[in-house]
Amino acid sequence: MSSKTYLEMKTKMTRIFISILLVMLIGWGIGCSTVPITGRRQVNLLPESEMVAMSLISYQEFLSTHSLSTNAVQTDMVRTVGRDISSAVEEFMRNNKMADRVEGFDWEFNLVQDDIPNAWCMPGGKVVVYTGILPLTVSKSGLAVVVGHEIGHAVARHGNERMSQALLIQLGGVALDVALKDEPEKTKNLYLAAYGLGTNVGIALPYSRAHENEADRLGLIFMAMAGYDPNETVEFWGRMAAMGGEKLPEFLSTHPSDETRVNNLKALVPEAMKYYNAR
């Protein structure tokens, strides 16, 4: 057996072992938490406080290399929608005895000048919207769909979940502080990829169907509580789906917008409308 073949087999066996370990951790309930609203059990091996600390560094680095929009009207719209939805999130968490889920969040909303249709939310409530997505959102309600969806990912701690899996698979399950010390660049890239900022580092960590469905559901309820019509989400994703045939925009690289998704959203709207009508 050649040394190359041996190394390939060893790498494969290591990944299989780590996958089995991950399943065992889930079974034992180690690092498990429950996603709000959906009730799904998830494995988050990393302290959320560490994720928030990393987000502040990455967020400031991002802002230092990107220009904020000079369009005062659009910037104000992003911040208004953001404040509305973040207030709804905090209200929901308080009412459902889950305030610790957003503990330490210091909400901030920025619009950056970039033609890519994209948006993201980091742990700690740092939200960035790209000007390139505004032609697709069309209105404040359409923007609420995007902001609500991205905040849904953050509240559900999908980034922590993906980062935990990535550390297990790609770095052998070492602790975050060890990973940062021994593999600082790789760990940073894994973090950026986990939150949708990793397009230039050659790492793809696509959201699973479960994550997408959860972000859709949470986002719908949050935007409804904030006073934005949940029916707009079907219209928005319909516009995104209509872009088929064109080069896939960044916002869709891990966000499927096919007929199945639109049908799923239609099924979720009635639940969100209860919150919308109860305001």
- Mean pLDDT score, 189-209: 53
Does position 7 have pLDDT exceeding 70, yes or no? no
Measure the CA–CA gap between 9 and 3, rounded to whole angstroms: 10
- Residue type, position 235, single letter: E
Per-residue pLDDT at 182: 57
Per-residue pLDDT at 274: 96
Q: What is the mean pLDDT of the chain?
A: 78
Q: How confident is the model at residue 19 (pLDDT cuts 50, 70, 90)?
A: very low
Q: How confident is the model at residue 215 (pLDDT cuts 50, 70, 90)?
A: very high
Within a domain: residue 112?
A: yes
Of 37-41, 198-202, 250-254, which one has max mean pLDDT? 37-41
Measure the CA–CA gap between 136 and 187, rounded to whole angstroms: 33
- Mean pLDDT score, 105-112: 96
Per-residue pLDDT at 196: 58
- Which domain covers residue 238, as residue numbers? 48-158+206-277
- Mean pLDDT score, 122-130: 93
Does position 72 have pLDDT exceeding 50, yes or no? yes
Q: How wide is the angle at C-alpha 234 spanned by C-alphas 211 and 262, nearest 5°?
A: 55
Please enumerate in sequence order all residues whose Cβ is within 8 A of that of 228, keeping only pairs 6 or more positions apart, or say none.
Answer: 81, 84, 85, 140, 141, 144, 145, 148, 276
- Residue type, position 65, single letter: T
Within a domain: residue 192?
A: no
Per-residue pLDDT at 14: 47
Q: How many CB atoms lie within 10 A of CB 252?
A: 17
Does position 8 have pLDDT exceeding 90, yes or no? no
Does position 107 have pLDDT exceeding 90, yes or no? yes
Q: How confident is the model at residue 256 (pLDDT cuts 50, 70, 90)?
A: low
Q: Which residues are catalytic?
A: 150
Which residue did the predictor score with more confidence, 93 or 13? 93
Per-residue pLDDT at 103: 86
Per-residue pLDDT at 173: 47
Beta strands in the chain (DSSP E): 32-34, 41-43, 108-112, 119-122, 126-130
Which residue did the predictor score with more confidence, 140 or 162? 140
* DSSP assignment letter at 181: H
Measure the CA–CA gap between 193 and 177, rounded to whole angstroms: 18
Does position 175 have pLDDT exceeding 70, yes or no? no
Provide the 3-class DSSP secondary structure of residue 200. coil
Which residue did the predictor score with more confidence, 117 or 75? 75
Within a domain: residue 58?
A: yes
Within a domain: residue 73?
A: yes
Per-residue pLDDT at 89: 97
Which residue did the predictor score with more confidence, 178 or 70? 70
Query: How many domains does the structure of the chain reveal?
Result: 1
Per-residue pLDDT at 250: 47
Measure the CA–CA gap between 150 and 156, rounded to whole angstroms: 10
DSSP assignment of 50-99 equals HHHHHHHHHHHHHHHTSPBP--HHHHHHHHHHHHHHHHHHHHHHHHTT-G
Provide the 3-class DSSP secondary structure of residue 128. strand
